A and B are shown apart, each in its own frame.
Chain A
Amino acid sequence: MPNTVQEIVNRFSQLGIELSEKEIEERLQKLTSEFKVPIGEAKRSVVNYFLKEHDIDRSQYYAGSTNDITAIQDINQEGRWVTLKVKVIQLWEANHESIVQVGLVGDETGIIKFTMFQGVTIPEPLEEGKSYLIKTAVTGVWQGKYQINMNKATSITEIEEDVEVGRQTAEFTGVIVDVQTGSGLIKRCPECNRALSKGVCTEHGKVEGVYDLRIKAVIDDGKTTQEAIINKELSEKLTNITLVEAKDMATEALDHNIVTDRIKSKIIGRYYTIVGTKIDRYLIVSEIKALPKITKEAVDELLSQLHTTQTEGSTTHSTLDCVAIEQSKNTNEEAL
């Protein structure tokens, strides 16, 4: 409570208005203890009261309250005001009249979806590949994922600096334990390339889809799991099923699922090393290799660890890691 009071006093004093701490506290107290209002709501209501009292615009109060630049990876709460320095990665068509632009922006630490509503201070629309300073956007959650919303409090300026987008590549060795729905033979929207669901694009409605092959796999090392997206080229090599063959298979069986079943039978339960770009919870795979055969050395190494009894807190580095390292040395004999 004292923090909240102080925060309100400070913010108003920045706007040139001195409020009485006592009055703020009394109002907060009344709402929270007498009327059982949650502190966040109470704060909001008290702030609104004083804004009206002194005839200050809401957006003015909330704007400029954050000048420090936030890294995308640090966004972990909704309803926070943030200032970001980002590059526009992708723009989608907005599907609502109150939405001006939707897309993805990224900085060194990650990538996040944004939604720009009417009223944002911006000379011209955002362009893909350009970098911007986005002041006072607000964080939100949509379907369990963080995004940023830009509204009339937000101001955007283009910057000279070319923001580097962190596309951290990651490597993961484990077993493919699941192939998710949406894998196998799919159709994509010819306009926006989105995967269709029952022949319908979420953006463009009923369209004549274009066939594609992809695998959404879950790879698991016994401690954590990683979802991976494998594109057509890699899927074809991995499963030895080409897109053409997949189409023939599905036509003959009058069922797309036959392709998914074949893919499952070829990859589930086997060990792979994947390399790719992390986006959100997915690893977009750029390289996938089957784990090579177990060598006698790997077995002997483990046996020697077992025979040295009393292995006090021994640092057993993963045998699979060793194998994976050996594999990368071992030129692409096993490469798929």
Chain B
Amino acid sequence: MEENLQYVREPAKRIFAQELQESNLTYKEEDDQYSKQYLITQTGARINRLYITGTLIEKENIGNETEYWRARITDPTGAFFIYAGQYQQEAADAIVRIEPPGFVAVIGKPNIYTTPEGATMTSVRPETIQVIEEDTIDQWIVDTAHQTLQRLNDKDNPVAKQASAHYQTDLTRYKEMIITALSAVR
């Protein structure tokens, strides 16, 4: 019983926009609607929380009666979609305040949406959004490049095996993605 009492916070995984967009494999530890959901990404990250940075370039209130904000945040490899409504009040308020374009950091949860046509879209449900400085963006790119490379090199990781079975991950493409990202650091 002692072990269960110890609540372990999920670390915020580092991932580039391209990899997040291209990942849609979800996984639950137990088959229960309340159990934690993870997103398994192309390079084998098992994500329940993530930390991303980039430039907020667009925002739009797509809600009808209640506000529901969509924001587009870009990094050197692509774009993240952020959705914040009444249940992410702090983050929604932050989006309202930020004038695009601006540098931001987001900590949040991955969210998979399946369209009626069966296509999937991976977005981020923010816990917090903060305006940051450009230096932090560079630090994040290097950190994320490093952690993505570690995942690519970790061939024994069972999650990576599961990922490559599902996606047929093209490792070279993801190495190129890392190089693209690093090239953006001045």
Contacts and interface: CB of A to CB of B under 8 A. Distances in A.
23 contacts: A76-B2, A141-B2, A141-B5, A177-B49, A177-B51, A221-B11, A222-B13, A222-B14, A225-B9, A225-B12, A264-B128, A265-B131, A269-B104, A269-B107, A269-B130, A270-B136, A294-B138, A303-B179, A309-B175, A313-B153, A319-B143, A319-B146, A320-B146
Interface string B173-184: 001001100100
B11 to A, nearest CB: 5
A41 to B, nearest CB: 15
B11 A225 contact: yes
Interface of B: 2, 5-7, 9-14, 49, 51, 53, 104-107, 127-128, 130-133, 135-136, 138-143, 145-147, 149-150, 153, 155, 175, 178-179, 182, 185
A315 to B, nearest CB: 9
A268 interface: yes
A302 B13 contact: no
Contacts of A224: 11
Interface size class of A (residues with CB under 8 A): 35 or more
B149 A305 contact: yes
A209 B40 CA distance: 49
Interface string A168-181: 00000001011000
B11 A311 contact: no
A318 B146 contact: yes
Nearest to B145: A302
Contact of A175 (B51, B104, B145, B153): B51
A291 B139 contact: yes
A306 B131 contact: no
B132 A302 contact: no
Given A178-B107, A223-B11, A320 B143 contact: yes
B82 to A, nearest CB: 14
B12 A177 contact: yes
Given A298-B142, A302-B146, A316 B131 contact: no
Nearest to B52: A269
B146 A299 contact: no
Given A222-B147, A293-B135, 17 more contacts: A146-B2, A175-B140, A177-B51, A222-B13, A223-B11, A264-B128, A264-B130, A269-B104, A270-B133, A271-B136, A291-B139, A294-B139, A299-B182, A302-B178, A305-B149, A311-B153, A320-B142
A59 to B, nearest CB: 25
Nearest to A268: B130
A265 B140 CA distance: 17
Given A76-B2, A294-B142, A220 B51 contact: yes
A268 B105 contact: yes
Contacts of B130: 264-265, 268-269
A78 B136 CA distance: 45
A311 B53 CA distance: 28
Q: Which 10 A-B pairs have the closest CB atoms?
A: A269-B105, A144-B5, A294-B138, A269-B130, A319-B146, A225-B9, A222-B14, A268-B130, A177-B107, A271-B139
B7 to A, nearest CB: 8
Nearest to A223: B11
Contact of A270 (B2, B14, B132): B132
A84 interface: no
A319 B142 contact: yes
A291 B138 CA distance: 11
Contact of A222 (B2, B51, B106): B51
Contacts of B182: 299, 302-303, 306
B132 A175 contact: no
